[in-house]
Chains A and B, each alone.
Chain A
Amino acid sequence: MGLCMAKTDKDKKVYKNGFNLFEAYPIQFSEKVETVPYDEPAEAFNFPFPDKNIAHIMVNLCPTEPWALPHVRITENNPREFFSKLDRVRTRYFGGSHCHAVISSHEIDLIKEVKEFTWHGDWLHTYLLDPIYPHDAPVLLLKKILGLHLAYGQDTRETGVLILEPQAVAEIFEHYIRGNECSTRLIPLSGTGLGENKILKVKPGTPIQAILDGNVRENITCRVFVDGPLNGSEVKDMRQRIGWTTKNIVILEERDYKTPFSFFRLNELVFTTSLMGELRRCVYCNHCDDMCPVNLEPALYWQCHTRGEKQRARLYGLEKCIECGLCSFICPSKLELLQIIKECKLADSGSRLKDETDYKKI
Chain B
Amino acid sequence: MKQIIKKFEPILNKNLNRVESFIQTRPRVNFLFGALFEAFDGLIRSSKDTAKTQPYIRNQMDIKQFMGGILVALFLGWVLPSIYFFGILCVVPKIIVSFVVGVFIVDVLWVILAKEERINEGGFVTCLFIPAFLPPQAPLWLIGVGAAVSILFRNITGGVGMNLLNPALFGRLLLTICFPTMVVTGWQEPFLGMPTIQSLTYGVDAVTHATPLLIYKETREITSYISLLFGTNTGSLGETCRVALIIAGVWLCKKRIANWRIPVAYLGSVFIFSALFFYTIGETMAPPLLQLLSGGLIFAAFFMATDPITTTYTQIGKWIFSIGCGFITVIIRNFTPIPEGVMYAILFMNLVGVPIQSIVLKIKYRA
Q: How far is the CA of A91 from the CA of B48 in the complex (A)?
A: 55
Give the docked Cα–Cα distance between A258 and B45 (Å).
Answer: 6
**Which of A177-185, A207-215, A227-235, A239-247 lies at the interface?**
A227-235
Select from chain A the residue with minimum beta-carbon distance to B50: A273
Contacts of A52 in B (CB 8 A): none
B48 near A328: Cβ-Cβ < 8 Å: no
Contact code string B33-74 (vs A, CB < 8 Å = 1, else 0): 000000001101111111111111111111111101000000
- Give every chain A residue within 8 A of B51 (Cβ-Cβ): 273-275
Q: Are A229 and B57 in contact (CB under 8 A)?
A: yes
Q: Which B residues are CB-close (under 8 A) to A270?
A: 60
Selected contact of B54 from candidates A285, A315, A328, CB within 8 Å: A328
One of A25, A276, A289, A336 near B53 (C-beta < 8 A): A336
B339 at the interface (CB under 8 A from A): no
Separation of A330 and B66 alpha carbons in the complex (Å)? 12
| 1-48 of chain A: CB within 8 A of chain B | 24-25
CB contact between A332 and one of B17, B47, B54, B63 (< 8 Å): that residue: B63
The answer for the CA separation of A230 and B367 in the assembled complex, in Å, is 31
Q: Does A347 have its Cβ within 8 Å of any Cβ on chain B?
A: no
If the complex has contacts A229-B57, A273-B51, are A334 and B361 also in contact, measured as CB distance less than 8 A? no
Chain A 63-98, CB within 8 Å of chain B: the 1/0 string?
000000000000000000000000000000000000
- Cβ of A284 under 8 Å from chain B: yes
Whole-angstrom CA separation of A331 from B257 in the bound complex: 12
Interface residues on A, range: 35 or more
Q: List 27 A-B contacts (CB under 8 A).
A: A25-B57, A230-B55, A234-B56, A252-B56, A254-B50, A260-B46, A273-B51, A274-B50, A275-B49, A276-B60, A277-B47, A278-B42, A280-B161, A283-B63, A283-B66, A283-B308, A284-B311, A285-B66, A285-B308, A286-B313, A297-B314, A300-B361, A316-B361, A325-B55, A333-B62, A336-B53, A339-B53
Q: Which residues of B contact A (CB under 8 A)?
A: 5, 9, 12-13, 16-17, 41-42, 44-66, 68, 118, 159-162, 256-257, 259, 308-309, 311, 313-315, 361, 365, 367
Residues of A in contact with B (beta carbons under 8 Å apart): 24-25, 223, 225, 229-234, 252, 254-263, 266, 269-287, 289-290, 297, 299-300, 315-317, 325-326, 328-334, 336, 338-339
Q: A316-B367, A336-B52 are in contact. List 15 more A-B contacts (CB 8 A).
A: A229-B56, A252-B57, A255-B50, A258-B41, A260-B45, A260-B46, A261-B9, A273-B56, A276-B46, A278-B118, A280-B160, A284-B308, A315-B365, A332-B59, A339-B53
